[in-house]
Amino acid sequence: MISVVSEMLGIHPQTLRIYEREGFIKPKRSGGNTRLYSEEDVERLEMVLRLTRDLGVNLAGVEVILSMREKMEQMQREMEETIIKLRVELEREIARREEARNALVPVRRITVRRGE
């Protein structure tokens, strides 16, 4: 609820409405149209407040920073997915080479014994 979150963060309910209008948060709505703030919404609000209060960033700057943060998080998820795929591919290649090496060992032993 807007009153609970505004009190928790020490800001006016109208400030929450402005942040919602600016697109910084997107609280869900109950059947009675009451705003329902998620933990993620509260975390984003805390970040907006740190940027505006502590660092003096204006709302346009906050928008840019949040957008960049979202892009970076997306890039990180994509990199993690790529790393997982590469790791699986590498493990397969290692297993393939190990299998090939193991297949060659008896041939070497036979060759060495014949050459003695």
User: What residue ranges define each of the domains in the chain, with the CATH number in brackets?
Assistant: 1-57 (1.10.1660.10)
C-alpha distances out from residue 29 to 35, 37, 88, 94, Å: 5, 9, 42, 52
Q: Which residue has the tokens 């505004």?
A: 6
| Residue 109 scores a pLDDT above 80 | no
Three-class DSSP category at 10: coil
The predicted model scores a pTM of 0.66
| Cα-based angle 51, 40, 4 (whole degrees, multiple of 5) | 85
pLDDT of amino acid 7: 93
* Average pLDDT of the residues in 21-39: 91
The Cα–Cα gap between 5 and 42 comes to 8
